[in-house]
Each structure stands twice: as structure tokens, then as C-alpha cells.
């Protein structure tokens, strides 16, 4: 049934030249969907998308988005396009509200104008802020501690109203820590500047410049922060399942955590990197980073029960091995 539904349906993917977007595009194509990517390439990479599918447009440009929607009838939109750096958002919140919130509003408005009523949205565990306990369930109230997290809360809030008023059905996927790379080695994580732990550990190995570990006095077993690392391919699969749920006749809007339910400390990640690479990671201990909660681990029971999702590549060593393989070849 799901396969029959997927044949030849056209899907618009905003931000499809980015890290998670490009992995999802690859999976959509493999499953038989027609894909159009809308990306302004401000942070995405031209080489991450087949040029036949790319429309170089800004989601904040209403006229350009009208042209994209006029070209073909999309069954749904998967909306990745956004800025993602928490630290940058704390220095320049205006960028995050303009791009993440304003851009999303322009996109949603164009969708309504063109009768496209299904959306998968990239949300984040940052909507929860600093939760007192883990694992985190979706019922926890919004409590973002950065303009980045707030920008995602604002879009989720808009989606609630668009559901009620315009019958636009959406699934917001609240990502935990996306990591790893396409096992075939073609795509991977290449943010500029890079702020994420695993690529920074490789950078430290490559250059010999020690990475700073942000705090060893957290109330965790080894004192370093715990995060729920999820392989980008498992994350991409969650988007396909969310899309299929939205294309079913009885589609309902919801928000779902996307994490494995297992946490790993920074020290554990360093050990995994040393095991996989056979090299020592040079590091120094530093102070805590502002806004870093001690532990973020998903309760992903809803994702598993409602969408039938299961992680297949999110063992920490597999995450690190695929990321290392990509790092070696770029």
C-alpha cells in the first residue's frame, strides 16, 4: 500500500542541499518519488544535489516560490530550509526569526495558495530547552533557551493554527543529535563553520589542535554531557515514514521525537572515535557552554508506535565509522 502510494508523487524538499535534507532526497529518489529541491545554497552545497532537481530559490521569496509551486502539483513538502547554529542565534536572533520563522510563513502561505496541504517539518529537541529529566516525551512544554529553539517553537505553533484553519496536515520531527554519513560515502556533514562534536573530533585528529570539551562537572556518570546521537540515514527514514503517514487519507498532524532513546556522553563519543580511527583525540577540558543541558535523550515510543520506525544504523560505532569514512574522502 505504502509503495503504491509513493509511485510518481512529486515532493518539494526545501533545504535539500543541506546535511539531513540531502540524505532524505537520496532516499526519496530511491523509493520512487519525484523530487524538486528548493535551496538558496546559502548554507547548503551545490554538489549535494543532482542539478536536474535543484531550483535555486529562497523560501522567503514569495514570487519565486509561486513559480516553483506553479511548475507541478506537489503531493507534499518536506521543509528543512533553516539556520541551525544555536550560538549564532544567540548573537543574531533577527537572522533566525527572519529566515526560520519568516521563511516558513512565506512557504506555508504559498502552500495554501497552491492547495498543497501536507508538510513534514524539521523541528528540534531544542524546543524543550533544559528538561529536568530524561527521556523526554513530546508532552513536555515548550521551554526553548535560544532564539534557534524559539524559532522552531514559533513554526510548530503556526502549524497548529494552519492545521485548524486551513486543514494543512503536518508532522513536526523533533530531531535529537543528527550524526554520521551516508554509508555509500557520497554525502556527509559539512557545516561551515562546523560546531558539531563528531566532525570536530576528526578535525582535532587531523590537525593535532585539541578540541575543547565543554564541561566535566555535569551531574552525569562521567561528568560530561549526554546526547542522543541518531544516524542521519535513520533520520531520513523517519521523514519517509512521516510523509507516507501524511499521504494516507486519514492523515493527522502531530509532533514526534526522533532519537534512539540511548544517550552517550562526550567521553564515550571520544572513546568511540579513538576505537574506530585507531588514533588519539587531542582534547582539553573547558568550561560549560551556555545553554547546554546535562542530558538530552528522546523517548521515541510515539515514533516507533505510530510510524513503525526503528533505528538501523544508530549504533555509536556505526555512526562514527560512516562519518569517518566520509571525512577521509573529502
| Of the candidate residues 10, 27, 41, 200, the single one contacting ligand UDP (CB under 6 A) | 200
Rg (CA), the chain: 19
* Interaction of residue 169 with ligand UDP, rule CB under 6 A: no
Pick the closer one to ligand UDP by CB: 9 or 151: 151
Least distance in angstroms from the C-beta of 228 to ligand UDP:
9
101/60 Cα distance (integer angstroms): 10
- What distance lies between CA 288 and its chain's CA centroid? 24
| Of the candidate residues 140, 142, 214, 277, the single one contacting ligand UDP (CB under 6 A) | 214
* Interaction of residue 130 with ligand UDP, rule CB under 6 A: no
- What distance lies between CA 270 and its chain's CA centroid? 23
Per rule CB under 6 A, count of chain residues that contact ligand UDP: 14
Residue with cell 546521537: 229
Least distance in angstroms from the C-beta of 297 to ligand UDP:
11
**Are the C-beta atoms of residues 233 and 267 closer than 8 Å to each other?**
no
User: Which single residue brings its beta carbon nearest to ligand UDP?
Assistant: 225
Least distance in angstroms from the C-beta of 273 to ligand UDP:
12
* Interaction of residue 211 with ligand UDP, rule CB under 6 A: yes
Contacts by 275-279, CB closer than 8 A, 24 or more apart: 275/317, 276/317, 276/320, 276/321, 276/324, 277/202, 277/205, 277/320, 277/324, 279/205
| Of the candidate residues 213, 232, 295, 323, the single one contacting ligand UDP (CB under 6 A) | 213
Secondary structure class of 137 (helix, strand, coil): coil
Least distance in angstroms from the C-beta of 15 to ligand UDP:
17
* Interaction of residue 266 with ligand UDP, rule CB under 6 A: yes
Pick the closer one to ligand UDP by CB: 169 or 231: 231
* Interaction of residue 177 with ligand UDP, rule CB under 6 A: yes
The burial of 27, by beta-carbon neighbours within 10 Å (0-12 exposed, 13-18 middle, 19 or more buried), is given as middle
Least distance in angstroms from the C-beta of 122 to ligand UDP:
13
Q: Is 148 a catalytic residue?
A: yes
Per CB under 6 A, contacts with ligand UDP among 281-310 are: 289, 292
Pick the closer one to ligand UDP by CB: 172 or 295: 295
Work out the angle at residue 88's Cα, subtended by the Cα atoms of residues 235 and 44, and round it to the nearest 5 degrees.
50
* Interaction of residue 212 with ligand UDP, rule CB under 6 A: yes
In sequence order, the 6+-apart residues with CB closer than 8 A to the CB of 12 are: 36, 38, 68, 69, 74, 76, 77, 78, 116
Pick the closer one to ligand UDP by CB: 119 or 295: 295
Strands 177-179 and 229-231: what pairing? parallel
* Interaction of residue 225 with ligand UDP, rule CB under 6 A: yes
Pick the closer one to ligand UDP by CB: 97 or 283: 283
β-bridge partners, 77: 12, 119
Greatest Cα pair distance, the chain, in angstroms, is 56
**Are the C-beta atoms of residues 79 and 159 closer than 8 Å to each other?**
no
**Nearest C-alpha neighbor of 120 from the set 251, 299, 311, 302:** 251
Q: Which stretch binds ligand UDP (CB under 6 A): 103-111, 139-147, 195-203, 297-305?
A: 195-203
> Which one from 96, 148, 175, 229 is the annotated catalytic residue?
148
The DSSP code for 98 is I
* Interaction of residue 227 with ligand UDP, rule CB under 6 A: yes
Least distance in angstroms from the C-beta of 21 to ligand UDP:
17
**Are the C-beta atoms of residues 109 and 62 closer than 8 Å to each other?**
yes
Helix (H) or strand (E) holding 249: none
Residues marked as catalytic: 148
Residues near ligand UDP (CB under 6 A) are: 177, 195-197, 200, 211-214, 225, 227, 266, 289, 292
Amino acid at each position: 500500500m505504502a509503495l503504491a502510494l509513493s509511485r510518481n508523487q512529486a515532493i518539494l524538499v526545501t533545504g535539500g542541499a543541506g546535511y539531513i535534507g540531502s540524505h532524505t532526497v537520496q532516499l526519496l529518489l530511491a523509493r520512487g518519488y519525484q523530487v524538486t529541491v528548493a535551496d538558496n545554497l546559502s548554507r547548503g552545497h551545490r554538489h549535494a544535489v543532482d542539478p536536474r532537481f535543484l531550483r535555486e530559490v529562497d523560501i522567503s521569496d514569495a514570487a519565486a516560490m509561486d513559480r516553483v509551486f506553479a511548475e507541478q502539483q506537489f503531493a507534499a513538502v518536506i521543509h528543512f530550509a533553516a539556520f541551525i547554529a544555536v550560538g549564532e542565534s544567540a548573537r543574531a536572533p533577527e537572522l533566525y526569526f527572519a529566515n526560520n520563522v519568516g521563511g516558513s510563513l512565506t512557504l506555508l502561505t504559498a502552500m495554501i495558495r497552491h492547495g498543497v496541504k501536507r508538510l513534514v517539518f524539521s523541528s528540534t529537541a531544542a524546543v524543550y530547552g533544559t528538561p529536568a529529566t530524561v527521556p523526554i516525551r513530546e508532552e513536555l512544554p515548550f521551554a526553548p533557551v535560544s532564539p534557534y529553539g524559539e524559532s522552531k517553537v514559533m513554526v510548530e505553533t503556526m502549524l497548529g493554527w494552519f492545521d485548524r484553519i486551513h486543514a494543512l496536515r503536518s508532522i513536526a520531527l523533533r530531531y535529537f543529535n543528527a550524526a554520521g554519513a551516508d554509508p555509500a560515502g557520497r554525502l556527509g556533514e559539512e557545516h561551515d563553520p562546523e560546531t558539531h562534536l563528531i566532525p570536530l573530533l576528526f578535525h582535532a585528529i587531523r590537525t593535532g589542535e585539541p578540541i575543547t570539551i565543554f564541561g566535566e562537572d555535569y551531574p552525569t556518570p562521567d561528568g560530561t554531557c549526554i546526547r542522543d546521537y541518531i544516524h542521519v540515514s535513520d533520520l531520513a527514514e523517519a521523514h519517509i515514514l512521516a510523509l507516507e503517514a501524511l499521504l494516507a487519507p486519514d492523515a493527522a498532524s502531530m509532533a514526534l521525537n526522533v532519537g534512539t532513546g540511548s544517550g552517550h556522553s562526550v567521553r564515550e563519543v571520544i572513546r568511540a572515535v579513538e576505537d574506530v580511527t585507531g588514533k588519539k583525540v587531542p582534547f582539553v577540558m573547558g568550561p560549560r557552554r551556555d545553554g547546554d543541558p546535562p542530558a538530552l535523550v528522546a523517548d521515541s515510543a510515539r515514533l516507533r508506535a505510530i510510524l513503525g520506525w526503528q533505528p538501523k544504523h544508530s549504533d555509536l560505532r556505526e555512526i562514527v565509522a560512516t562519518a569517518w569514512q566520509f571525512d577521509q574522502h573529502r
